[in-house]
Amino acid sequence: MLKSVVEQRTAPPNAWLWLLIEKCANRDDIKLLFDILQSVRRFRLSNLRIHENFNCNLCREISKACARVGAIDFGKKALWKYNVYGLTPSVGSAHPLLLYAKQKNNSKLMVEIMKLLKTNGLPLQPGTADIVFSICYNTDNWDLISKYSRKFLKAGAKLRQASFDAWMTFAAKRGDIETLWEIEKLRSDTMKQHSLATGFSCAKGFLLERKPEDAAAIINVLNQTLSDAKRPGIMVELQNLVSEWPLEVLKHQKEDNRKVLASALQDDIPAMVHRLSNSGLEVNVKMERLVENGLL
């Protein structure tokens, strides 16, 4: 392709460029790709008087190739609005790089990519929030998810179920009731039914407010509204609520509040389970972990 441009002074077929992107297998391949892009861009301007950039689909595929081989520094170059490669960035070009950051649990890289989106005026989308929120949750970074949730809402991005799942689960894990109900208000304004994650997050919120009856009620609603395929997940989430969540939420409480909350959960979790059983729901959860953890 370089020979076609430099020696033969002709534009290489577009199919060659797409094939090269597909075949990139390492960092050297990516470097060659960017060298070719720059040469083709220069040739299009000087010889063909073509001032338009390549379309955004090409840029997105290049970003995927960079993420695939781990050449993230080159991937970042594909996000600059003004570049020497003739690329047309979009927020879709950032998603492969964000997914790479998610795979590596790298919140620092996520922040760098989000800064590039802002610098280059690329609008935030619901799919971007899905990835960002999941990275924040997986890296246990509450400050970051709080920061970016405000940015997405300010930008007018309509959050999807996956974002609410991560955000509400995180709030319930930390025992932040005030934020949990604020998120639930946002969710309920756009979605009629709960997912497993948001429903159980609310159940945990009710337990933190010492309302085991309401916690049981929302789990019963899930049992009625979830599809047959998702309904078995209720017992999985219920077991997590009994076995794992109490220790997680206590860990995030101030020391003088831990004993009070532990005592409340000691009474209210069994009360919720008992109420579920009396409602006709077949409850099959092991309470031993509560005993082992000193909550019963």
The yes-or-no verdict on residue 225 having pLDDT over 80 is: yes
The residue among 72 and 43 whose pLDDT is bigger is: 72
Of 18-22, 182-186, 208-212, 283-287, the least confident? 283-287
pLDDT digits (tens, 9 = 90+) for 116-129: 999 999 999 999 99
Span 3-18, average pLDDT: 64
Residue-level pLDDT at 93: 96
C-alpha neighbours within 13 Å on the C-beta side of residue 37: 24
Residue-level pLDDT at 16: 79
The yes-or-no verdict on residue 7 having pLDDT over 60 is: no
The angle that helices 142-154 and 126-138 make with each other, rounded to 10 degrees, is 170
C-beta pairs of 132-137 under 8 Å, 24+ apart in sequence: 132/98, 133/162, 133/163, 133/166, 133/167, 134/102, 134/162, 134/166, 135/98, 135/101, 135/102, 135/105, 135/106, 135/107, 135/110, 136/107, 136/166, 136/170, 137/166, 137/167, 137/169, 137/170
The yes-or-no verdict on residue 51 having pLDDT over 50 is: yes
The yes-or-no verdict on residue 23 having pLDDT over 80 is: yes
The yes-or-no verdict on residue 144 having pLDDT over 80 is: yes
The yes-or-no verdict on residue 55 having pLDDT over 60 is: yes
CB of 200 closer than 8 Å to CB of 245: no
Average pLDDT, the chain: 91
Span 254-268, average pLDDT: 92
Residue-level pLDDT at 178: 97
The residue among 94 and 12 whose pLDDT is bigger is: 94
Span 123-144, average pLDDT: 97
Model-level pTM?
A: 0.90
Residue-level pLDDT at 244: 94
The residue among 127 and 292 whose pLDDT is bigger is: 127
Residue-level pLDDT at 282: 86
Span 176-195, average pLDDT: 96
Of 126-135, 185-194, 266-275, 280-289, the least confident? 280-289
pLDDT digits (tens, 9 = 90+) for 155-183: 999 999 999 999 999 999 999 999 999 99
